[in-house]
Each structure stands twice: as C-alpha cells, then as structure tokens.
Amino acid sequence: MSGQVEVKNLTKIFARQGSADDTLLALDNVSVDVQPGEFVTLLGASGCGKSTLLRILAGLEVPTKGGAYFNGEKISGTDPSRGLVFQEHTLFAWLTVKGNIEFALKAAGQYKEKKHEIADWLKLAGLSEFANNYPHQLSGGMRQRAALVRALAISPEVLLLDEPLGALDSFTRMNLQDELIRLWQEQGNTMIMVTHDVDEAIYLSRRIVIMSPRPGRISKILPVPGSYPRNRASGDFTALRTEILTLMDFAHESQEEYAI
C-alpha cells in the first residue's frame, strides 16, 4: 500500500552561520514509522527539530546520518506525491483561488486529467462562491482552506503539515481542525503534522510522537484512543492531555543533560 513513511536512525546537524566548526545538533537518532492512511502528529516545544524533520520528509533538507524513506525508497528531493502546507498559506497573491489550484495541477503535470475536479475541490472547501477572489479578499481561515485543497488537489499520497493552523484565532482554528479531519477521511491520505498545541494533537491524531527539546529525540509515541470526532471534555481526552503535559515537562527538565 502506498503512503508509507519510515525514518531510520536519522540525525541532522547544521553548521552555525559564520563558522564551519560550530555546529548545531537538531535531530539525534530519530526513528519512526507512519503507516499508509495514518494521521500522525509530531508534538514538541519550539526548536525541538520537528519542522526540520518535516522538511527532510518533504525533500527540502538532507539528513546528516540515517535516512527517511517513502514507500520503501530513500527520499531524495521534492515530489508531488509528498505535499507540504506551511503555517502561512503561501497562496500566490496574483492568482485567484481557482487559479492557485490550476497552477498546482499544471506544476504537477495533472491539469488536463484533473481540471474537471477543480469545482469539486472548491465545493469541498466551501469556497465555490470565492473561486474568483484573490487571497487578500479572503479571511485567514478561507486562505488556509484554499491552501489545503490546493495541496490535496494533486492527490499526494502524504500530506505534510507544518503548523498549518497556528496563525489562526482559536475559533477559526477549531473549525478548521474539523475541516482537516473531514478532508483526510474523504481522501485517505497519510497525514504528518507538526504542532506544539497538545489539544490539537489529541483532537486530530491517531498517534502522537512526542519530541524532546533540542536536540530532537523521540521521548514517546502515544496512540490516541477513541473515534472521530473527538470530545475535548471526555475523560480519555483529559487523561491523555495530562499524560502528555507530564511527559513534556519531564523532557524539558532533562534538557540540560544533552544541551549544546
């Protein structure tokens, strides 16, 4: 089955700016497997290397040691089968919502075969009435919905999400969490998301990968019980939140042990 991601003994070291001898250990011996169709969240404090790991999976960074694999093949460069959505929407300001989706399809060489699907994607995102609007004419939530469907329109097997809802207000963010779950369930993509929001990780994920502060290591991988939609007030939700916060506090306290 397609859409499998494997990370094996991955280490990433950056050279600090201005000195080749001064380095920063961002990720240290990270290993994790993500199964096809799974929704997995990388959770940790800012600077723990989770966005670096996502960029490696996207093919935008290269590991120093170890490797990242997609469907059994080592990741080397970017590929339309691995989509990426950032915290900022990254829509092209000079194109309409429809134009942005068309551009993505053309860039992936899929426009002729999929142009008839654009209206369906706009409807799915609740943007049919705004197809000819430009990004500056949309709300923040609408822009991010447009960015999500632009990424999904080319049918990536894996969608990588780098805090895609982090710039939104709380109410819009919760609404878009539901939209993201709906899109994922309808399309069946593998989802790997980065966040530092514990509740968001629990609400969206099937499994949560907790990462320690720099250098990024995996502290624990936790399954999330229960079906969708998740009840934020349930006992299971609250218990898991408490467990995660306890684990993250412990990871923070032990940071000095391997700080650079």
**For 94-153, what is each residue's pLDDT tens digit?**
999 999 999 999 998 999 999 999 998 898 888 999 999 999 999 988 998 898 889 888
d(CA 204, CA 214): 25
Q: What percent of the chain has pLDDT over 90?
A: 63
Torsion 165-168-170-174 (CA) sign: negative
Q: Please tell me the predicted confidence (pLDDT) of residue 253.
A: 46
User: Could you tell me the pLDDT band of residue 18, with boundaries at 50, 70 and 90?
Assistant: low
pLDDT at site 21? 67
Can you give the pLDDT at residue 167?
74
* Predicted pLDDT at 255: 40
pLDDT digits (tens, 9 = 90+) for 21-33: 688 899 999 999 9
Measured over the CA atoms of residue 77, residue 79, residue 83 and residue 85, the dihedral's sign is positive
CA dist 220 and 217 (Å) reads 9
Whole-prediction pTM: 0.87
- Which has more confidence, 141 or 238? 238
pLDDT band of residue 19 (cuts 50, 70, 90) is: low
Residue 89 has pLDDT above 80, yes or no: no
Q: What pLDDT shows up at residue 254?
A: 42
Q: What's the whole-number mean pLDDT along residues 241-245?
A: 94
Give the pLDDT mean for 231-256: 80
Residue 260 has pLDDT above 70, yes or no: no
Cα 50 to Cα 69: distance, rounded to the nearest angstrom:
17
Q: What is the mean pLDDT of residues 35-59?
A: 93
Helices (H), 59-96: none
Give SS3 for 93. coil
pLDDT digits (tens, 9 = 90+) for 197-236: 999 999 999 999 999 988 899 999 999 998 999 999 999 9
Q: What's the whole-number average pLDDT of the chain?
A: 89
Using CA atoms, how far apart are residues 95 and 132, in angstroms rounded to an integer? 9
Q: Per-residue pLDDT tens for 139-190? A: 988 998 898 889 888 889 999 999 888 877 888 888 889 988 988 998 899 9
pLDDT of residue 126: 86
Class of the CATH domain delimited by 1-81+189-260: alpha beta
